[in-house]
A and B are shown apart, each in its own frame.
Chain A
Amino acid sequence: MIERAHWFDRLTYGALIVGAILVCMPIYYAVIVASMPDGSESDAVYLLPGGHLFENLANAWNKEGLGRQLFNSGVMAVGVTVGKIAISLLSAFAITYFRFRFRMTAFWLIFITLMLPVEVRIVPTFEVAANALAPFQAIIDLLAIERVAGWLAGHEVDINLEWSLLDSYTGLILPLIASATATFLFRQFFLTVPEELCEAAKIDGAGPMRFFFRILLPMSTTSMAALAVILFIFGWNQYLWPLLITTEPEMTTVVIGVARTLPTEDADAQWNLTMATAILATLPPVAVVLLLQRWFVKGLVDAEK
């Protein structure tokens, strides 16, 4: 029995170590490459650091626009995190605690969006983002409101609604905010909250929003923190959407910035700089994880009862 457990321990540790090596290898290699001097062979394989790490990091940091890109990424990631948590808390609250008509329809609509990641709905999303008022324009066109207005005014009227979200933080953040996953997580959490708590609050005189803010929210903090870590990384790592919606260098995010330092046909590869930039770009998410890890683990292990 003891012998068997011993072997099993070794086996799990073995698997763990192999997994850790697999995960850490690319990061290690990125650090190695980032420490190479300028003009190193790009197809050579290095195993030991080259001693130029801080020099390269400084160069990457001083490169034009990186600070701005980090800032943009930060705004986007925080915006997406806060927005997603706020929206999904509210929608989970509505779905769990209110009996309204089409409640199940709302539930299933949210559920279906689970199957539609950003990449799938990117074309229509882009169209809407290019002119957020396009749907209203369509309604106006459909109802021939222009002609009615023209008739009322006695002269020709041209209604052109336009509100572009391109190259704006709103455009970067808003389309990513709806989140079925987070809604489900919170719904699941709310379902574990005993019904009597809601009834006790009712008798105490708390209306729905009071109950939400004074009781449900404080009870959800650990799940919120856990989710915030995941969502921050999700927002920070967005690539395709920022690529589409931003054109001005002022508005690009750091992930795109890293991609732009990759060798193109008419420029020399500067792998050491690319890797140094990549390392700088990973630091903020790492910081967030370290900062919130205590809550993160708590939120995953025990939803505080």
Chain B
Amino acid sequence: MADVEIRNVYKSYGDTQVIHGVSVFIRDGEFVVIVGPSGCGKSTLLRMIAGLEAITSGDIAIDGRVVNEVEPKDRDIAMVFQNYALYPHMTVAQNMSFGLRLRRLSKREVADRLRRAAEILQLSELMDRKPRQLSGGQRQRVAMGRAIVRDPAAFLFDEPLSNLDAKLRVQMRLEIKKLHRELGATSIYVTHDQVEAMTMADRLIVMNAGIAEQVGAPLDIYECPASAYVAGFIGSPAMNFLACEVTGDGRAVHLNGSGELALNGNGATAGGGVATAGIRPEHIAVCGGEDADLHVTATMVEPLGADTLVHGALAHDGAAAGPELTIRLPGIVRIQAGEQLPLRIDRDRIHLFDAERGTRIN
């Protein structure tokens, strides 16, 4: 058990800097998910914590001890790799115990730990198989087992589920979460799947091009994204962005062709000027014609059963010409493509972002 502190960490490969100063404090026992698009530096950050990648500047401390110069094996961490990285010529038992044997633990201790891990992960039947005789999900479990037997201060996961099919991914997601509740070890989990991020994390680190753009609890980030980037990345389908004009007192906005929408209680910090309004698809409803803030012409309808996604173009002077908009309506709603819909926007949940820098301004 340990906390992990990342203090102003930079990473460069030659002349190209890929991590531009990240600082995060990860509490003991916390499950933190690092999420971001491909190439934003998630793996690099994780690998620096693991000690597989040198830190260009800044410090990483595990349990209060700066580990910049400490070998991976002495950092008291365990890592689960995306492709599992099981030793192909060893049996499951040998794979899991390899590290323990190198540490010269007694035979009994090794056997004890193996048995316990095998029970937790339901691997007892498979201990004598080679990795190639296992299914993807079973391999995944062995990789987890190899981490568990080490009894590390922190678990590091680099996209451990991305090689599994959708169903298995959901199942393993729950298992990892359950495991975390049982073991209570600090876990740092890298993914680019935002459903994994939202459901597993105690806290999320949203990364963008080498910086930690926002750190916080998943729902806090969902409800109050710090930037247009985060707002667009978290939530599916993605948030709609519309150009808008903020009134002089900052209490209301004019959307593209709409009337004045009062921002109930979350007015802009500064009045006047143009901004970007962010509206989540689920915060738009179909309404009676007289209440409508906007009209869209539906271009595509995706019925999902639990809810219905409507893609449409903002109507302008009766013609569908404006920007695209996605709307999420609860339940089954029968709408035809080409239909014009009057829409009402949930005023309490309009996010405003600086038009240029993308930072939140309300």
Chain A residues within 8 Å of B, Cβ to Cβ = 194, 196-197, 199-206, 210, 214-215, 218-219, 304-305
Contacts and interface: CB of A to CB of B under 8 A. Distances in A.
B230 to A, nearest CB: 30
Contacts, number: 59
B89 interface: yes
A1 B102 CA distance: 61
Interface string B12-56: 000000000000000000000000000000000000001110000
Interface stretch (B74-82, B189-197, B311-319, B325-333): B74-82
Given A204-B98, A305-B88, A199 B73 contact: no
B85 interface: yes
A203 B89 CA distance: 18
Contact of A203 (B50, B87, B88, B132): B50
Contact of A218 (B72, B89, B102): B89
Interface residues of B, number: 23
A204 B88 contact: no
A305 B82 CA distance: 17
A200 B102 CA distance: 13
B13 to A, nearest CB: 13
Nearest to A210: B102
Contacts of B89: 215, 218-219, 304
Contacts of B99: 203-205
Contact of A202 (B72, B103, B146): B72
Interface string B244-274: 0000000000000000000000000000000
Identify the 5 closest CB pairs spanning chains A and B, nearest first: A204-B99, A205-B73, A196-B85, A200-B85, A218-B89
Nearest to A197: B85
B81 A196 contact: yes
Contacts of B77: 203
B83 interface: yes
Given A203-B99, A305-B132, A194 B83 contact: yes
Nearest to B78: A203
B165 to A, nearest CB: 21
Interface string B92-107: 0000001100110000
Nearest to A219: B89
Contacts of B81: 196, 199-200
A196 B146 CA distance: 14
A218 B78 CA distance: 24
A199 B79 CA distance: 9
A200 B132 contact: no
A133 to B, nearest CB: 42
Contacts of B50: 199, 203
Nearest to B94: A214
Contacts of A215: 87, 89
Nearest to B73: A205
Contacts of B102: 204-206, 210
B88 A219 contact: yes
Contacts of A197: 85, 87
A163 to B, nearest CB: 41
A196 B98 CA distance: 15
A153 B82 CA distance: 68
B73 A196 contact: no
Interface string B121-132: 000000000001
A278 B79 CA distance: 59
B184 to A, nearest CB: 21
A211 to B, nearest CB: 10
Contact of B73 (A194, A204, A218, A219): A204
Contacts of A203: 50-52, 72-73, 77-79, 99
Nearest to A200: B85
16 contacts: A199-B52, A201-B87, A202-B51, A202-B52, A202-B71, A203-B52, A203-B79, A205-B102, A205-B103, A206-B73, A206-B102, A210-B102, A215-B87, A304-B88, A304-B89, A305-B132
